[in-house]
Amino acid sequence: MFYEPHSQIETELLDFFESRKNRYPAVHEKLHIFFTQPNLPNAQSVLQEYFKHHEQGDIEILRKITSAFADKALVRDIVDSILDDDQALEDIAARSYPHPIGFDKLVLYQDEKTGFKFRLHIYWRSREEQAQMERMHLHKFEMASAIVTGELTNHIWEITDYDAQSDEILPSMDTTTSPFKKRDGDETKYMQAYSGYWRDDEGVLHKKFLGPATLKRATSRTFSSSQSYAQLLEHAHYVETNAETGHTNGDHCSTIYIHGPKLKDGNGRDIPVLFEEERLENDDQIITPIPSMTKESLKSSLNRYRNLLQESLDFYEFLYDPKHGRNLSVGMIAGYLLSERYQTPHTATLWEHRYEECRETLAECTAILSGLINGDHDIAQMSEDDRTKRYYAMLLKKAEQHPDGTQQWFKQYGNLTKELWRYFGALRGEKDPDITVLKPVWQDAVGKKLPGGMHYGHISAMIEAAFEGNKLAMKHFGKITEDLGHDKDGPVSIADYEIDSLIRNVLHQHYPQHTYTSEHVPPDPNKPPQKGDVKFIVDPIDGTTNFLNGNENFGISIACQEFDGQNWITTDAVVSIPSSGKIFWAEKGQGAFLIERNDYERRIWVSGPANNNDPVQLKPTSQQEPLKGKTIDLSMRGLGGDGWGGLLADLFNDSAKCRISGSAAISLARVSGTGHKGSLVTAKPHDIAAGKLIAQEAGATISEINFQRNIDGKPYQFNALIAGDTAEIHDALRSATQKQIRALSH
């Protein structure tokens, strides 16, 4: 094998446990045997020896031993040893099952003496098998996890307050000390704690209410293949896999999970705990156990996984093949950096069509790398929210391991543009000239990227914010919500400010470096934007009048924009409708999508000519009467009373079915094959930015007209946005709007 990524880790681990023979007498020997002959029995032997001497709370050593399994080749060999052993397959199947959130939870070994478990988690990634979000929970054991393929983000929360209903089950938590630095503005959640799960004397599982709890976000970290982490049993957490978060790393996520012995925490807790957003109707639920796998289903899962591992290993053989001269791995990592900067998995296509721009970006990345190697910059100062940090860390590690020193490595590999040029030349020349993505093993997953489940980057954070905002909006809706009067743009309520604060907090947790503006948070006039700056632009309640009057036509609008040196360009958009649970979203150049209340997700299109992704040929719009019978939504207060009335009259004369929904964002988002055939809007940027991109990505025809209207003798500037399901509808609406604008000047 040309590629030996784990050899350095193996040496470090052997040296580590060799130096600690007094505490761990035989771990070094067992590890050496395992690395020489990686199979399930030898893996069991390593862990059995380690857990004879494990001390509660020493999770760094637990992480160390778990890191021995963070390697595709070793895990493939373990899987092979299981597939060759019928008895092992039967035993593992009996204690394994497909987890309801969408991954295979395989208990490879369970030690009766010490109580530890050796598990393999496989988060499948296909259209039918999308991993859902975990519930936040507390374990009854310490744990560590090694990432074998893909990426995983671990979100750790701490209990800051707990109102115990039963001290025998979960005593109040000691919150006086914390290993995590508290930060101002950290997110707080108010949750309901349940046993997960408590077994009674007859062996029946119960999910019992324990009491309300307050939790505060402690930290979130993303781990890639070959990395590992561990945590104490006092820490609540949930994980996201690359099925939700990773847009550059398209591998299926899989982890080796070490489940430590059952323990009691410092307060005597010895059951796991699940946290729910709301209190459930039944405080004591009987839980039906999930059926175990059959031997055949386990074998099928392991064979499929083994093939994925081999495909990935074969790819790394290609990367490190001596025929390329210097290996191609740095070029691949340079591609990661481009993927992050441009928020796309289709890096090969990006490189081909925007070559000069990519060169400029990689020149900037090379300068950063040079500063890190020369000590001018410290990687520890880079934010964990900066997804490029992990890739600079990979490059630094390569430099540090170079036999001739970091400077010589940089002289050979430091030109990231040249390395990516070498990489793509080999990739397309030797494998497939039609490859669009960075790694060919991703092609199937990325090719079927949507609909469903593969949100990444800004979209992931914005959808999370929309889900949270929807829940808060519906808590207020239909209840007395204080009207705080009118600002220059219309009515404002307490709910506006609360939702605005919530969305800002969620987005800041993901992207603290981005600017946040909204209907209630204006941009800083003393801070002009620079090229490459990114901002979120939000309307927390678009349609506040409807909201205050019990009308369900109100929405939440979130757009992400990047400054290109002259203009703010909308790159990502989310419009949610809290009352229906629908969330519209779009990414520039990637299409528009709709998430329904049941989390079913589909791509949305206007009803124009059929295309490769829309096999249904719909009846075209009549060119003679393009507006006849078409639903047109309007929000054109900018025209004034006379202009507004004249426009309505003209549209009625054209037999259009006019609607006034009262929400500009929803009006535009629905011009996507989901209700409106056209939309006419005069509104502020925070009202229309998201809806406009959604309509565009769905294939709508859109244009804008800037005009001036005098109010009380003073000139005011307005912008009319015209969106049509087809070009004919758009042109008819634009003509009607221009007629009224011309009338304003007379």
Kindly list the strands in the beta sheet with 568-577, ordered across the sheet, starting from the edge strand earlier in the chain: 515-518, 534-542, 555-563, 568-577, 582-587, 591-595, 601-604
Residue 500 vs residues 264, 555, 562: alpha-carbon distances, Å: 41, 12, 21
Q: Are 116 and 260 in contact (CB under 8 A)?
A: yes
Mean pLDDT of the region 386-410: 89
Report the pLDDT averaged over residues 462-490: 76
Q: What is the Rg, in whole angstroms, of the alpha carbon atoms belonging to the chain?
A: 29
Average pLDDT in the 419-443 region? 78
Helix 27-36, helix 40-51: angle, nearest 10? 170
pLDDT tens-place string over residues 584-624: 999 888 889 888 865 567 788 886 433 334 433 334 455 66
pLDDT of residue 168: 42
Local structure of 38: helix, strand or coil: coil
Measured in degrees and rounded to the nearest 5, phi and psi for residue 346 equal: -90, 60
Provide the pLDDT confidence category of residue 246 given band limits of 50, 70 and 90. very low
Q: What pLDDT is recorded for position 478?
A: 80
Above 80 in pLDDT, residue 673?
yes
Map residue 715 onto helix, strand or coil. strand
Read off the CATH number of the domain in which 190 is found.
2.60.120.10
Q: Is the pLDDT assigned to residue 490 strictly greater than 70? A: no
∠ CA 463-468-473 to the nearest 5 degrees? Answer: 120
- Mean pLDDT, residues 314-320 taken together: 87
Token digits of residue 20: 């600690």
Residue 584 lies in a domain: no
- Cα–Cα distance for residue pair 725/718, rounded to 1 Å: 23
Amino acid at 321: D
Helix (H, G, I), strand (E, B) or coil at 631: strand
Q: Who has greater pLDDT, 619 or 286? A: 286
CB 637 within 8 A of CB 660: no
Between residues 223 and 69, the one the model is more confident about:
69
Residues 295 and 327 grouped into a single domain: no
On whether both 278 and 413 belong to a single domain, the answer is no
Q: How far is C-alpha 211 from the geometric centre of its chain's CA atoms?
A: 30
In the chain, what is the straight-line distance between the N-terminal and C-terminal CA atoms, in Å? 81
CATH number at residue 670: 3.40.190.80
- Say whether both 297 and 355 belong to one domain: no
Does the structure show a pLDDT above 70 at 182? no
Residue 561 resides in a domain: no
User: In sequence order, what are the beta bridge partners of 212?
Assistant: 192
For residue 360, what are its two tokens? 């400029």
pLDDT of residue 395: 94
In whole angstroms, give the CA distance from residue 106 to residue 256. 10
Total domains in the chain come to 3
Confidence (pLDDT) at 131: 52
From the CB of residue 305, how many other CB atoms can be counted at a distance below 10 Å?
22
49 confidence band (pLDDT: 50, 70, 90): very high
Taking 60 as the threshold, does the pLDDT of residue 130 lie above it?
no
Q: Quote the pLDDT of residue 623.
A: 62
The answer to whether 586 and 697 have CB atoms below 8 angstroms apart is: yes
Task: Give the percent of the chain with pLDDT over 70.
Answer: 85
Domain extent at residue 695: 608-746
Here the tokens at position 394 are: 């990979």
> What distances in angstroms separate CA 441 from CA 45, 307, 341, one per listed residue?
33, 11, 21
> Is 50 exceeded by the pLDDT of residue 452?
no
Strand partners, 582: 577
What number is the average pLDDT over the span 523-546?
90
Task: Identify whether residues 370 and 293 lie together within a single domain.
Answer: no
**169 pLDDT exceeds 50?**
no
Q: Are 340 and 388 in contact (CB under 8 A)?
A: yes
The overall average pLDDT reported for the chain is 82
Query: CA-CA distance, 132 to 397, in Å (whole number)?
Result: 33
Residue 745 pLDDT exceeds 80:
no
State the average pLDDT over residues 301-322: 88
Cα 48 from chain centre: 36
Is 201 a residue whose pLDDT tops 90?
no
More confident residue, 251 or 374: 374
Reading the block at residue 57, the tokens are 């709370």
What number is the average pLDDT over the span 685-711? 89
> What does the pLDDT read at residue 481?
62
With a pLDDT cut of 90, the percent of the chain lying above it is 35
- 215 with 255, same domain? yes
Do 337 and 251 belong to one domain? no
How far apart (Å, rounded) are the C-alpha atoms in residues 265 and 99? Answer: 26
Question: Rounded distance, CA 255 to CA 532, Å?
Answer: 36
Chain-centroid distance, C-alpha 493: 31
Mean pLDDT of 244-272: 71
CA separation for the pair 509, 221 (Å, rounded): 11
- Name the E strands within 196-342: 198-199, 205-224, 228-231, 236-241, 253-262, 273-276, 284-287
Which pLDDT belongs to residue 77? 97
- The answer to the question of residue 567 being in a domain is no
Q: Which residue has the tokens 């975990």?
A: 134
Q: How confident is the model at residue 714 (pLDDT cuts 50, 70, 90)?
A: confident
Q: Looking at the structure, do residues 343 and 232 belong to the same domain, yes or no?
A: no
* SS3 state at 217: strand
Lowest model confidence (mean pLDDT) among 263-272, 388-397, 482-491, 639-648? 482-491
Which residue's structure tokens are 């239909």? 478
Of 237, 270, 305, the one marking the end of a domain is: 305
Answer with the residue of higher pLDDT: 102 or 415: 415
Domain final residue, candidates 432, 447, 462: 447
> Between the ranges 122-131, 324-333, 431-440, where is the mean pLDDT highest?
324-333
In a domain, 577, yes or no: no
Print the SS3 string covering 516-568.
EEECCCCCCCCCCCCCCCEEEEEEEEECHHHHHCCCCCCEEEEEEEEECCCCE
- Greatest Cα pair distance, the chain, in angstroms, is 95
Please state, in angstroms and rounded to a whole number, the distance separating the CA atoms of residues 554 and 666.
Answer: 8
Q: What is the full DSSP assignment across 355-372?
A: HHHHHHHHHHHHHHHHHH
Question: Could you tell me if 712 and 645 lie in one domain?
Answer: yes
Residue 438 lies in a domain: yes
Q: Is the model more confident about 312 or about 562? A: 562
Residue 158: inside a domain, yes or no?
Answer: yes
pLDDT score of 517: 93
Q: How many CA atoms lie within 13 A of 671 on its CB side?
A: 38
**Strands 103-110 and 97-99, bridge-based pairing:** antiparallel
pLDDT, greater one: 408 or 684 = 408
Q: Is residue 418 packed enough to be buried (19+ CB in 10 Å), middle (13-18) or exposed (0-12)? A: middle
76 occurs within a structural domain: yes
3-class secondary structure, 80: helix
User: What is the 8-class DSSP label of residue 699?
Assistant: T
Residue finishing a domain among 428, 447, 466: 447
> What one-character-per-residue DSSP string does 557-614 give?
EEEEEEE-SSSEEEEEEEEEETTTTEEEEEETTTEEEEE-TT--EEEE--SSS-BTTB
Q: Supply the pLDDT for residue 127.
A: 43
Say yes or no: 146 and 213 in one domain: yes
Same domain assignment for residues 135 and 243: yes
Q: Using one digit for the tens of pLDDT, what is the confidence trace for 539-589? A: 999 988 899 888 999 999 999 999 999 999 999 999 999 999 899 999 888
**pLDDT the model gives residue 610:** 36
Q: Does residue 330 sit in the same domain as residue 231?
A: no
**Is-contact 109 40, C-beta < 8 A?**
yes
Mean pLDDT, residues 3-24 taken together: 82
Burial of 540 (0-12, 13-18, 19+ CB in 10 A): buried
Considering only residues 650 and 705, tell me which one the structure prediction assigns the higher pLDDT.
Answer: 705
What is the pLDDT, as a whole number, of residue 126?
52
d(C-alpha 302, C-alpha 469), whole Å: 40
For the chain, percent helix, then strand, then coil, each to nearest 5? 35, 25, 35
Position 126, amino acid:
S
For 655, phi and psi rounded to 5 degrees? 65, 25
Q: Is residue 398 part of a domain?
A: yes
At 522, the amino acid letter reads P
Output the pLDDT for position 614.
40
Based on the domain organization, do 298 and 326 belong to the same domain?
no
User: How confident is the model over 30-39, as pLDDT tens digits?
Assistant: 999 999 999 9
